[in-house]
Amino acid sequence: MTIQVYHDHSEVSDEEFNKLKELVNEGTFSRIVLACDFITGVNVENASYGAGVCAERAALTRAVSQGQRKFRVIAIAADTEKPIVPCGICRQFIREFSENIALFLFNQDSEYIKVYLKDLLPLSFGPESLGIEVE
């Protein structure tokens, strides 16, 4: 299976994208996630590895605790040569809020690719699967 990769940022304005890149460049942690209103999160590691929380879930949890539930895009930055994708748990966590959100994946040089969640998590399980309507 081939995943379609994009290089545009049509979901956000140029101004929003520049702000997003600015925040990515300011990051001092290995991962930053930006969702609505540029809410960030970082990996929260734990001596008991299984108790750690990925940056994606940290940012989304932070946003939800601030009353946000609708996200236009998510950016994930890593200090790696190639951009990284969210882990399986985070893909499912993100899916709760959108079946097909755009993910901007940045590498250490602030180069990015864009992919869609639907391509990373096909035939996904979400609130609709339980008969819960999502706006």
Chain residues binding Zn ion by CB under 5 A are 54, 87, 90
| Residues paired with residue 73 on neighbouring β-strands, in sequence order | 102
Starting at the edge strand found earlier in the chain, the sheet holding 102-106 runs: 31-34, 73-78, 102-106, 112-116
What is the smallest separation between the CB atom of 49 and Zn ion, expressed in angstroms?
12
What is the smallest separation between the CB atom of 53 and Zn ion, expressed in angstroms?
8
In the bound state, the residue with its beta carbon closest to Zn ion is 54
Catalytic residue among 26, 56, 99, 135: 56
Alpha carbons within 13 angstroms on the beta-carbon side of residue 103 total 30
Q: Is 133 a catalytic residue?
A: no
What is the smallest separation between the CB atom of 54 and Zn ion, expressed in angstroms?
3
Residue type, 135: E
**For Zn ion, the closer CB: 87 or 134:** 87
List, by residue number, the catalytic residues: 56
